[in-house]
């Protein structure tokens, strides 16, 4: 059950009771449970969002390491707005880093890569079955609708069970915006949220919004609770993904200063090809590369496409350009460069189907004969991938 598998020896006896209640409720289903090493475990769970048209699954990943009795619980959520994708990749990357052998930390990290899987698949901000309702305004004890029943109530059960010591909700903003933290204006945990935001170091905005998940958590629990706005919507942005991963690592260090987790280097990519084989390639303005648009690269399978390179970054033949995952973060496939080139841009959308175009790339003219036109046209499909 969820007690023995998910949270062994939790700090409070009440947690054992609550997790037993979750297990017996039939709301949460175990997908897989794996032992990374003798000291670390990663468990994946889902809860169903059953609508009149389809059944969607909200993924939950719980990563535990070391003594979970004396160490903190962190909780990170993303993609409550279905077309804000970068946060999904941020929490996946964080779990990858937590699993590395040189990562030194202890406690429990709970991640929910998407709180709105229907919006993610349909590439819309709101939940398709309640299209006029913003799902991030439905968190509250006095709100009654299907979003509250299908999303908020299971989330509240999980929140009460895990009792996080810190909470972050990840968003993306408009195309041209600064990354910033939002703190709940009148919530119980306002002062603690402000201290955490100052520790992170991004610009700080006080948000009066009621009904949002971070203000709901901050209002119901006296813990640091932030909403982070990171970069543009409609695509997974590598630059802001790296910022976001480092911010979450900073949040872990906020409660556990002596931990050591590798951070990611953040730098806007130079528009220069570093090709040691062809020294005359120089920079991109020598016009030795040809733009290949929608017929450049296509999706190998149904899944979440997470770019590994920023627009403007160059690559050599066989370099990994993107990784394809399921919603819990398991790697399904990779996308490799067919020849030397650089990334011009990635197409919108995060969930893609086999054969769907991934973006625009520039390749050497001598290598263009091998490309074929992608055939996939995106369709909404709630299947689990």
| pLDDT of 16 over the 60 cut | no
Closest-CA residue to 52 (of 337, 327, 382): 382
Query: Which residues sit opposite 335 in a β-bridge?
Result: 322
Of 34-38, 57-61, 302-306, 381-385, the least confident = 381-385
Q: What share of the chain is helix, strand, coil (3-state, %, to 5)?
A: 30, 30, 40
Name the phi and psi angles at 272, rounded to 5.
-140, 135
Over 80: is that where the pLDDT of 7 sits? no
Cα gap 175→299, rounded to integer Å: 25
Tokens 């449970």, located at residue: 33
For residue 365, pLDDT over 70 is answered with no
- Report the pLDDT value the prediction gives residue 372, as an integer from 0 to 100: 59
- Please tell me which residue, 13 or 155, carries the higher pLDDT value: 155
31 contacts 23 by C-beta, under 8 angstroms: no
> What tens digit of pLDDT does each residue of 80-134 get?
999 999 999 999 999 999 999 888 999 999 999 999 999 999 899 998 877 678 8
Cα 32 → chain centroid = 19
Q: What is the pTM of this model?
A: 0.85
pLDDT at position 380: 66
Torsions phi, psi for 379 (to 5 deg): -135, 145
pLDDT for residue 93: 95
**Confidence class for position 267, pLDDT limits 50, 70, 90:** low
Report which DSSP code applies to 144: -
Q: What percent of the chain has pLDDT over 70?
A: 79
Which residues on neighbouring strands pair with residue 303, listed in sequence order? 352
Pairing of strands 303-307, 289-292: unpaired
pLDDT of residue 2: 52
Record the tokens describing residue 110, joined without a space: 């709970």
Q: Which among 327, 320, 321 has a CA at the least distance from the CA of 304?
A: 327
Mean predicted confidence (pLDDT) in 269-274: 47
pLDDT surpassing 70 at residue 170: yes
- Evaluate if residue 348 carries a pLDDT over 90: no
Q: What is the mean pLDDT of the chain?
A: 82
Q: Report, as an integer, the average pLDDT of 147-162.
A: 88
Kindly report which listed range (16-30, 193-207, 215-229, 274-288) carries the lowest average pLDDT score.
274-288
**Using one digit for the tens of pLDDT, what is the confidence trace for 173-184?**
877 778 899 987
What number is the average pLDDT over the span 137-165?
Answer: 86
Which residues make Cβ contacts (< 8 Å) with residue 308, sequence separation at least 6?
Answer: 238, 320, 321, 322, 323
Confidence at residue 258, expressed as pLDDT on a 0 to 100 scale: 95
With a cut of 90, say whether residue 166 has pLDDT above it: yes
- The angle formed by the CA atoms of residues 68, 72 and 77, to the nearest 5 degrees, is 110
4 or 180: which leads in pLDDT: 180
Distance CA 215, CA 93 (A): 25
d(CA 235, CA 172): 10
In the numeric block, which tokens belong to residue 77?
A: 């959520």
* CA distance linking residue 225 with residue 22, whole number of Å: 24
Relative orientation angle of helices 153-162 and 213-220, to the nearest 10 degrees: 40
Written as six digits, the tokens of 384 are 């689990």
Residue 331: is its pLDDT beyond 80?
A: yes
Tell me the range of 169-173, 184-188, 308-312 where mean pLDDT is highest: 169-173
**Mean pLDDT, range 166-194, rounded to an integer:** 85
Indicate if the pLDDT at residue 21 is higher than 80. no
State the number of CA atoms in the 13 A half-sphere of 156 facing the CB: 15
Q: Where are the beta strands (DSSP E) in the chain?
A: 28-37, 40-50, 55-65, 73-78, 107-112, 166-173, 180-184, 203-207, 225-232, 289-292, 303-307, 314-315, 320-325, 331-336, 341-346, 351-352, 359-364
- Asked if residue 20 has pLDDT above 70, the reply is no
Secondary structure (3-state) at 40: strand
């Amino acid at each position: 059950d969820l007690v023995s598998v998910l949270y062994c020896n939790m700090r409070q006896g009440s947690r054992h009771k609550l997790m037993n209640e979750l297990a017996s409720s039939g709301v949460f289903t175990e997908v897989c449970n794996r032992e990374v090493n003798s000291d670390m475990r990663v468990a994946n769970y889902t809860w169903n969002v059953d609508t009149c048209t389809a059944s969607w699954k909200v993924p939950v990943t719980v990563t535990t390491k070391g003594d979970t009795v004396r160490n903190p619980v962190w909780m990170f959520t993303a993609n409550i707005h279905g077309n804000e994708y970068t946060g999904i990749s941020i929490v996946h990357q964080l779990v990858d880093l937590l699993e590395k052998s040189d990562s030194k930390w202890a406690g429990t990290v709970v991640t929910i890569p998407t709180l709105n899987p229907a919006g993610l698949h349909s590439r819309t901000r709101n939940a398709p079955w309640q299209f006029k309702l913003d799902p991030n305004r439905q968190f509250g004890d006095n709100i009654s609708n299907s979003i509250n029943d299908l999303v908020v109530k299971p989330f509240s059960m999980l929140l009460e069970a895990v009792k996080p010591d810190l909470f972050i909700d990840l968003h993306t903003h408009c195309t041209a915006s600064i990354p910033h933290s939002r703190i709940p204006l009148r919530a119980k945990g306002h002062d603690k949220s402000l201290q955490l935001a100052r520790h992170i170091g991004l610009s700080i905005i006080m948000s009066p919004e009621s009904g949002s998940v971070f203000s709901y958590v901050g209002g119901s629990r006296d813990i640091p609770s932030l909403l982070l706005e990171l970069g543009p919507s409609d695509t997974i942005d590598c630059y802001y993904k790296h910022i976001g991963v480092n911010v979450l690592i900073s949040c872990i260090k906020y409660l556990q200063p002596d931990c050591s987790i590798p951070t990611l280097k953040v730098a806007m990519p130079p528009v220069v090809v570093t090709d040691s084989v062809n020294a005359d390639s120089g920079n991109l303005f020598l016009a030795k590369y040809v733009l290949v648009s929608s017929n450049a690269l296509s999706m190998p399978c149904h899944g979440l496409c997470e770019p590994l390179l920023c627009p403007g970054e160059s690559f050599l033949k066989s370099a990994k350009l993107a990784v394809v995952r399921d919603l819990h973060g398991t790697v399904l496939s990779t996308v490799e460069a067919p020849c030397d080139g650089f990334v011009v841009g990635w197409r919108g959308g995060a969930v893609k189907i086999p054969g769907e175009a991934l973006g625009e790339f520039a390749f050497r003219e001598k290598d263009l004969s091998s490309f074929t036109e992608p055939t996939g046209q995106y369709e909404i499909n709630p299947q689990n991938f």
